Amino acid sequence: MSTTATLATLSDSDHMADPNWWRQAAVYQIYPRSFYDSNGDGLGDIKGITAKVPYLKALGIDAVWLSPFYPSALADGGYDVDDYRNVDPKLGTLADFDEMAAALHEAGIKLIADIVPNHSSNRHEWFKEALASPKGSAARDRYIFRDGLGENGELPPADWDSVFGGPAWERITEPDGTPGQWYMHIFAKEQPDFNWSNREVRDDFLKTLRFWSDRGVDGFRIDVAHALTKDLAEPLLSKAQLPREGENAMGAHPYWDRDEVHEIYAEWRQLFNEYNPPRTAVAEAWVHAERRARYASPEGLGQAFNFDLLQADFDATQFRSVITKNLAEAKASGASSTWVFSNHDVVRHATRYGLPQGGRKDGDGKDGDGKDRGQDGKDWLLAGGPKDELDAELGLRRARAASLLMFALPGSAYLYQGEELGLQEVAEIPDVDRQDPAFFRNAGVEVGRDGCRVPLPWSPEGSSFGFGDGEPHLPQPEWFANFAVEVQEGADDSTLEFYRKALELRGRLQAAEELLWHANASAEVLHFSRPGGWHSVTNFGTEPVELPEGTVVVSSGPLDGGKLPSDTTAWLLTDN
């Protein structure tokens, strides 16, 4: 096939009507409170997103995924939902939402909403009703209430830990003022878990999915999709009896990844398929690889996140094995694969790759300098992010190389706001400004996820770097000025212009979901091609390597004559 023939592209309207639009979409995650503040209250909002649709269009993404924008006390950044069928008044109105959806669609961009079905907030009408109602009532049955153990019920029903630290059960005060039952919360205590055995809960979520689908939402991201169904048969297992990591592959854990959860998604799928094009969904399911396929099947949600690349070191062997495995799995389930390096829950990849272990290689090409730091960056954050531990320049170079490789892969690429600016994690947030419950429930063990949720810098100047006129809800560091959109726009070697170019080419080069590996003299080089003569080559090693034949169309960093320097990816087109 000739080079020019591979550059055909779908028009915006074809793309909007295509039932398979999601299979190879570039999806940009917006954390609404930190994107753009249109009214100066320090919180990003819906109108702020609408104002930036031209920016999103110029970036070249296919879809936007909005983290929760529902009414919430923000006990967990909006993942504590008070009302599933409304917009947080702090962020705007339903009319603002409709306006935003229309503007995105007009620009040829799909809209994905985050659905949080495992738990509501403790301010949800149903939870308030449950607290005001007696033990055994229908209102209590929508959540997971149990009597406590001990003589007076003073001990939790089980000794389970919540994900954010501390117990997974909280005792309530009964309407008559006496100490009462306990309710289960896998996350913060402000996030009571729903009882998914209750038909009313199921019906209410169907109503919510229909509500947003009717408003033009094209797809859904399903929060902790693997937690909804639970085996709470008495006696509850104790912590010591719970299946450990690696032992729960058969759905045997009482509250993670149980087989019954798929009945729920089969019902959702029927609803999604009533729409044209069908609504899509992607599961956030932290399950064993072989259990992911059911979440991603066409009878289920259709797609599931794979976090394997995100968890891998910057290493050719690890990347290749993750890619090969995930492509095979996705194919077997009928889904397309998903790829992601950064999101609102993890340390930004430009920082992770700049940290000693799992990132830097010494001059001899061997792994890092042996310092005891986690590749996920959490220890580094906890230590206050000392600068001599972080090689930010190396981190960014590798992040750009990894992202360009990701954009070449078959399947969907999920990007997180700010990565297109090359933003680093913000380590220097004073404790008094922190918001993440993981910090409050786990003091001294985790600092939480605020460092990747700091409001974006749009301009190098102004009190909030152009984020808005008010005081940003999380403090921005001085160095944000260098990463501002205005600084990068039009600057040839900027990360923003690099992302724009890569995404534009990706859109034009969309090829069948196939990948062919090519041998390379160096084991530290990954070279693969896609149908149509489209090649991606990444040098994970320390020495420059020869580029294969072809015309270079984009690279993640400067090339060294005809050579590909270390920590760099290049795309080439050939005529075969």
Identify whether 80 is a catalytic site residue: no
List all residues 6 or more positions away from 11 whose beta carbon is below 8 Å from its beta carbon.
Answer: none
Output 346 or 423, the one with its CB closest to ligand BGC: 346
Give the residue, chosen from 224, 402, 454, 554, that forms a contact with ligand BGC under the rule CB under 6 A. 224
Q: Which two tokens stand for residue 216?
A: 């033009």
How buried is 470 (Cβ within 10 angstroms: 0-12 exposed, 13-18 middle, 19+ buried)?
middle
Quote the least distance from Cβ 303 to ligand BGC, whole Å.
Answer: 16
Quote the least distance from Cβ 507 to ligand BGC, whole Å.
Answer: 27
Query: Catalytic pick from 88, 223, 450, 567?
Result: 223
Please answer whether residues 37 and 455 qualify as being in contact, where contact means their C-beta atoms are separated by less than 8 angstroms.
yes
CB atoms within 10 A of CB 69: 27
Identify whether 274 is a catalytic site residue: yes
Give the integer Cα–Cα distance in Å for 66 and 31: 6
Going along 431-567, which residue ranges are E strands?
Answer: 516-518, 525-530, 534-539, 545-546, 551-555, 563-564
Q: How many CA atoms lie within 13 A of 339 on its CB side?
A: 25
Residue whose entry in the numeric block shows the structure tokens 């779908």: 10
Subset of residues 312 to 371 that bind ligand BGC, contact rule: CB under 6 A? 344-345
Query: Strand pairing partners for 128?
Result: none
x/- string (CB under 6 A) for ligand BGC, residues 387-426? ----------------------------------------
Quote the least distance from Cβ 447 to ligand BGC, whole Å.
Answer: 15
Output 449 or 527, the one with its CB closest to ligand BGC: 449
Quote the least distance from Cβ 380 to ligand BGC, whole Å.
Answer: 20
Query: Strand pairing partners for 303?
Result: 282
Pairing between β-strand 179-184 and β-strand 145-146 as defined by DSSP bridges: antiparallel
Q: Give the count of residues interacting with ligand BGC (CB under 6 A).
A: 9
Q: Which two tokens stand for residue 529?
A: 């091609």
Give the integer Cα–Cα distance in Å for 97 and 116: 18
Output 34 or 555, the one with its CB closest to ligand BGC: 34
Query: Catalytic pick from 260, 274, 362, 514?
Result: 274
Subset of residues 245 to 284 that bind ligand BGC, contact rule: CB under 6 A? 284
Output 435 or 495, the one with its CB closest to ligand BGC: 435
Give the integer Cα–Cα distance in Å for 380 and 486: 30
What CA–CA distances, in Å, run from 39 to 45, 347, 368?
8, 29, 46
Closest residue to ligand BGC in the complex (CB): 79
Q: Is 187 in the site for ligand BGC (CB under 6 A)?
A: yes
Give the residue, chosen from 76, 96, 218, 567, that forms a contact with ligand BGC under the rule CB under 6 A. 76
Give the residue, chosen from 223, 308, 313, 446, that forms a contact with ligand BGC under the rule CB under 6 A. 223
Subset of residues 29 to 58 that bind ligand BGC, contact rule: CB under 6 A? none
Subset of residues 543 to 572 that bind ligand BGC, contact rule: CB under 6 A? none
Tell me the catalytic residues.
223, 274
Q: Which residues bind ligand BGC (CB under 6 A)?
A: 76, 79, 116, 187, 223-224, 284, 344-345
